[in-house]
Amino acid sequence: MIKTEMKILIGLHRNINDIDKKTLKIATEHGLTLSQFMVLEALYSKGDMSVGEVREKILSSVGTISVIVNNLVKMNYIERLPDERDRRVCILSLTKEGRDVISKVVPKNEAMIVDSMKVLTTEEKEELLYLLKKMGGRLDD
């Protein structure tokens, strides 16, 4: 028999995979891959960041982030700006076109996420959030 911990892990993965598939469908409707959406969403919600900061936010590998960024620059959705403090670093910033497209995608994605969680009561959502933070050692967040 599978231990409870493994069942929890499998359940988390299945739920994340289902949401990622729905996010990909929404992103694709706007000509984006899931990774491109994640980069644009990170910049949209957090503001300008270095490539390394974006990579950490979206949990991407070093090799993959370069391809994603290059493609988004070609699409004119983001631009690379020099970091005033460190010439080795470049800052990623949304262009007007990038802001326009991501501002259409984010509300649809957020609505999908809310809809996916409507089976939970407010109390269950708060408890789940608490338990995930507790498990990750982030109760102060």
Q: What percent of the chain lies above the pLDDT cut of 90?
A: 76
Of the pLDDT bands very low, low, confident and very high (cuts 50, 70, 90), residue 87 is confident
Instruction: Please give the average per-residue pLDDT across 37-44, as a whole number.
Output: 96
> What 3-state class would DSSP assign to 73?
helix
Please say whether the beta carbons of 118 and 132 come within 8 A: no
Query: Of 76, 74, 71, which is closest to residue 99 (Cα–Cα)?
Result: 76
In this prediction the pTM is 0.86
Residue 49 phi, psi dihedral angles, 5° rounding = -145, 160
Please say whether the beta carbons of 78 and 95 come within 8 A: yes
C-alpha to C-alpha distance for 71 and 91, rounded to whole angstroms: 16
The ranges assigned to domains in the chain are: 4-135
pLDDT in tens, 46-85: 999 998 899 888 877 667 888 999 999 999 999 999 878 8
Domain 4-135 has CATH 1.10.10.10: yes
Please say whether the beta carbons of 92 and 51 come within 8 A: yes
